[in-house]
């Protein structure tokens, strides 16, 4: 069986050496309700196209790893919602062997992208070390994937429900470079600043492509985090969002929500507590990241 099913458009683009950007599907099934999820997914794809690259939304459909989905397939994931399993690295063998569907996380999208030969991936925010991980050991599989899978991830930093400082320490330990696009400071997803530095600041997609090419040419496997702050117009008030996150975390603890269920729960609760403002910011930053990813992919393809 072919490792990854490529859509005809993606197959042609890769064969011709044209830029392609991988996109995840957890944001479709677990990120927001239908039909907003489908509308957003198609809008992000169009953003990639407008910036000169082909979008390859990734998912597991009928047990097959896929890069490049049709509109009906995206609608299937959107209508299925949380009934579609959230698929990380550990889930891929089970879903593949049982012929099931899966919405790909950062980690599993990176795996599909690497198998397909797509070096750049755009998402909202990566997973990381959870608050209280010193006792829970709750650390996202996204971080280990970044250490071993050679795909660059364009994001607005780490989801701010997490422990940003410990996440950066983990990435440093595993040799994953954290690059700030036109910023010296690591963004905090909903806001542009966290008070924490990036490893290196690079101010153009060409500079980022040059670093990625050097890393992989030297045989240094693993990805890179390209931190792209949310546009200033759409960032949220830092004190407001921190208070909302604290309230959402208390709700999760009270309801004993843990594991892979906690991130979707927290994001949905934050949306409720902010009256939808957090979702609007999330959509804007995903599109912002998709645009930059397309520019980096284009520079890599030259």
What's the pLDDT tens digit per position in 90-123?
A: 999 999 999 999 999 999 999 999 999 999 999 9
130 pLDDT band, cuts 50/70/90, is confident
Q: Dump pLDDT digits (tens) for 138-151.
A: 899 999 999 999 99
pTM of the model: 0.94
Cis peptide before 87 (omega within 30 of 0): no
What does the alpha-carbon distance between residue 28 and residue 78 come to, in Å, rounded to a whole number?
Answer: 5
DSSP conformation letters of 176-229: --EEEET-SB--BTTBS--S-B-SEEE-SHHHHHHHHHHHHHTT--S-EEEE-P
Of these residues, 24, 45, 54, 295, which one is catalytic?
Answer: 24
**Percentage of the residues of the chain whose pLDDT score is greater than 70:** 99
Question: Which letter, b or e, does each residue of 148-180 get, where b requires 16 or more Cβ atoms within 10 Å of its Cβ?
Answer: bbbbbbbbbbbbbbbbbebbbebbeeeebbbbb
pLDDT at 52: 98
Residues 130, 136 contacting (CB under 8 angstroms): yes
Q: Give the 3-state secondary structure of residue 5.
A: strand
Owner of token pair 């806001």: 191
Catalytic (active site) residue 250: no
Residues 225, 168 contacting (CB under 8 angstroms): no
Owner of token pair 């963004």: 187
SS3 helix, strand, coil % of the chain, rounded to 5? 50, 20, 30
Catalytic (active site) residue 24: yes
Of these residues, 86, 159, 215, 260, which one is catalytic?
Answer: 159
Q: Dump pLDDT digits (tens) for 202-247.
A: 999 999 999 999 999 999 999 999 999 999 999 999 899 989 988 9
pLDDT at 80: 98
Question: What are the beta bridge partners of residue 58?
Answer: 67
pLDDT at 133: 81
What does the alpha-carbon distance between residue 26 and residue 201 come to, in Å, rounded to a whole number?
Answer: 29
Residues 24, 77 contacting (CB under 8 angstroms): no
Domain 4-301 class in CATH? alpha beta
């Amino acid at each position: 069986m072919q490792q990854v099913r490529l859509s005809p458009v993606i197959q042609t683009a890769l064969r011709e050496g044209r830029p392609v950007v991988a996109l995840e599907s957890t944001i479709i099934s677990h990120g927001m309700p239908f039909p907003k999820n489908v509308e957003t997914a198609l809008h992000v794809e169009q953003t990639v196209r407008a910036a000169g690259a082909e979008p390859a939304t990734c998912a597991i459909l009928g047990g097959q790893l896929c890069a490049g989905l049709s509109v009906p397939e995206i609608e299937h994931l959107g209508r299925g919602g949380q009934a579609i399993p959230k698929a990380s690295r550990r889930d891929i063998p089970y879903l593949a062997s049982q012929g099931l569907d899966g919405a790909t996380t950062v980690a599993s999208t990176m795996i599909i992208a690497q198998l397909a030969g797509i070096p750049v991936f755009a998402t909202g925010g990566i997973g990381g070390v959870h608050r209280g991980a010193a006792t829970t050991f709750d650390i996202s599989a996204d971080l280990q994937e970044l250490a071993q899978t050679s795909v660059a991830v364009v994001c607005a930093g780490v989801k701010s429900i997490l422990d940003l400082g410990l996440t950066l320490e983990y990435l440093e330990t595993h040799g994953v470079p954290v690059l700030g696009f036109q910023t010296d400071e690591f963004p905090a997803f909903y806001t542009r600043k966290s008070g924490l530095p990036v490893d290196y600041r690079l101010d153009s997609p060409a500079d980022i492509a040059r670093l990625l090419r050097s890393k992989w040419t030297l045989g240094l496997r693993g990805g890179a985090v390209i931190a792209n702050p949310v546009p200033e117009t759409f960032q949220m008030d830092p004190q407001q969002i921190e208070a909302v996150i604290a309230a959402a975390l208390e709700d999760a603890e009270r309801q004993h929500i843990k594991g892979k269920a906690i991130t979707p729960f927290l994001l949905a609760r934050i949306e409720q507590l902010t009256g939808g403002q957090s979702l609007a910011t999330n959509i804007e930053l995903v599109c912002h990241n998709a645009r930059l990813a397309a520019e980096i992919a284009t520079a890599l393809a030259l």
